[in-house]
Amino acid sequence: MVSMRADGLLRLGTTARVSVAGAESTVAVGLSRLGHRVRWVGRVGRDEPGELVLRTLRAEEVDVSRVREDDDAPTGIVLFEQRLPDVTRVQYYRAGSAGSRLAPADVTTAIEAGTRLVHLSGITPALSPTAREAVTAACDHAAEHDVAVCLDVNFRSRLWSADEAADVLTPLARRARVVVGSPDELALVGGVEDLLRHGVAEVVTKHGAEGAAVTTENGTLDAPAHRVPVVDSVGAGDAFTAGYLSGWLDGVGLAERLDRGTACGAFAVATRGDWEGLPTRAELDLVGSAGTALR
């Protein structure tokens, strides 16, 4: 989507900063900055907002060759309003958008030989029946080609009810190798122990400012969050996911995966915007260097 971040109250009229937002695109940018080859799959309108989305992702070295430009539907928009210093009000305008028209054919051809991981968000199947079919098709195609799947539950109450989400996302979560979510989100798809019983290898719990944990058949490992001044909390969870999956792709241990995830989350909350402040691999160690001038 295109994002508009208001500088003041929308009801009074204000200026706004235009950029790009979206859970999956934030993960894609985060992984790309950490040195991984990434492809983002979706639909945008054949319009100027769509051009901004594609241009931004190309600039971040994310492959958009399989993105479909829709002639008949607009690119979605999201509005951010900083109502209080630590409270952001978000309004979505994507009903009938190009992204909501995602279909199975849009995603299956993007999973090629050599693909190691398919990252899915619980937001996508909430957008429309065809988007729901597309996510299921991606899982099917990944399974046929022995490609690992990561599902971030990412429950959005403005898109559907908890009961609807549970009915759709629980079967998807049980098919994933890695499932990510807050405690409430993981409970929505059966809980940590149930997911492990159904074959999920790693269940990652995001605790926000308190850090994160990963549970496998061997037990649970916890990691604290890095303490940094919070400028904007939007996108922190997706930044964490990007860092964690970067460690997964690199084959490092669980502790290092969590540490990389919390480092990315710290960079995200310390800067305004969903993805703009995400680190490169060379910058990961800067977390904890408060008050230092790099000369």
Active site members? 238
Cα distances (angstroms) measured from residue 26 to each of 38, 211, 218, 234, 280: 11, 19, 30, 11, 14
**254-269 vs 236-250: helix axis angle to the nearest 10?**
150
Q: Which helix (H) or strand (E) holds 220?
A: strand 219-223
| CA 125 – CA 131 distance, rounded (Å) | 5
- The Cα-based distances of 8 to 4, 40, 73 in angstroms read 12, 32, 30
Alpha-carbon distance of 153 to 82, in angstroms, equals 25
List the alpha helices (DSSP H) in 20-114.
23-33, 48-59, 104-108
Burial zone of 295 (CB within 10 Å; 0-12 exposed, 13-18 middle, 19+ buried): exposed
Report the alpha-carbon distance of residue 63 to residue 32 in Å, rounded.
Answer: 10
Looking at the DSSP bridge assignments, the partners of residue 93 are 77
- Closest to 147 measured CA to CA, from 124, 119, 170: 119
Give the separation between CA 183 and CA 191, rounded to whole angstroms. Answer: 8
How many residues make up the chain in this entry?
295
